[in-house]
Amino acid sequence: MNSIIFTAGARILVALVFVFSLFMLLRGHHLPGGGFIGGLLGAVAFIIYSLASGPEETRRALRVSPEVIAILGLGIALLAGLVSFFMGDPFFTGQWYWVGGDSYETAAFSINSVLVFDIGVYLVVLGGILSLTFAFEEET
């Protein structure tokens, strides 16, 4: 697309949407948000970028091919599920470590396996959607 306005606007938009996607990822689990919606928003950011500058340039910006991102996400999600094995819980049981308290209401923040799983989902969705859109864009 040869529009200077769009290309210039895309730079700001891409950064905003991408940061928002990370916000959605971190907000998830206890509040609306999470890996899936975050991954979709992240994909939207890169799709805007590829509409403005072309899929080749976007692939360069991503550095890693979207298929590899997706499969790495699958691996991370699987590892998040396997953590509970070492804690003696069933598969995919969330492991929580609260900092500054002992529950969602009192703690300042938490370190947990659920976020790791969500990051995995984020990467799967981001990589999956982008590999599809790149395939379409590069076809035509």
Partner 1 sequence: MNWVLVMPIAVPFATAVIVYLARNYPAGRWISLAGSVLSLIASAALMVAVLREGVVAAQMSNWDAPFGITLVSDYLSAVMVVITAITGLATAIYALGEVPEETERLGFYALFQVLIAGVTGAFLTGDLFNLYVWFEVMLIASFSLLVIGGGKERLDAGIKYVALNLVSTLVFLSGIGLLYGVTGTLNMADLRGAVAASDNQGLITVIAMMFMVGFGVKAAMFPLFFWLPASYHTPYFAISAVFAGLLTKVGVYALMRMFTLVFVGDVGFTHEILIWASLLTMFTGVIGAAAQMDFRKILSFHIISQIGYMTLGLALYTPLALMGGVFYLVHHIIVKANLFFVAGLAKQYAGSTDLNRLGGLYKSAPLLAALFIIPAFSLAGFPPLSGFWAKYLIVKAAIELDMWFVTFVSLLVGLLTIYSMTKIWGYAFWKPHPEGYDPTPDRAPARVTATMITPIAGLAAMTIIIGFFPEPFVQFAQTAAMQLLEPTDYVTTVLGVQP
List residues binding partner 1 (CB under 8 A): 67-68, 71-72, 74-75, 78, 81-82, 85, 88-94
Query: Considering beta carbons, is residue 48 or 126 the nearer one to partner 1?
Result: 126
Give the separation between CA 110 and CA 131, rounded to whole angstroms.
Answer: 33
Query: Considering beta carbons, is residue 52 or 124 the nearer one to partner 1?
Result: 124
Give the separation between CA 121 and CA 134, rounded to whole angstroms.
Answer: 20
How many residues are given for the chain? 140
Tokens 């091919």 correspond to what residue? 65
Query: Considering beta carbons, is residue 57 or 89 the nearer one to partner 1?
Result: 89
Query: Considering beta carbons, is residue 47 or 76 the nearer one to partner 1?
Result: 76
8 A C-beta contact, residue 121 and residue 34: yes
Q: Please give the structure tokens belonging to residue 13.
A: 């938009």
CA angle 55, 56, 59 (to 5 degrees): 85
Reduced to 3 states (helix: H, G, I; strand: E, B; else coil), residue 119 is helix
Q: Please give the structure tokens belonging to residue 46.
A: 């890169």
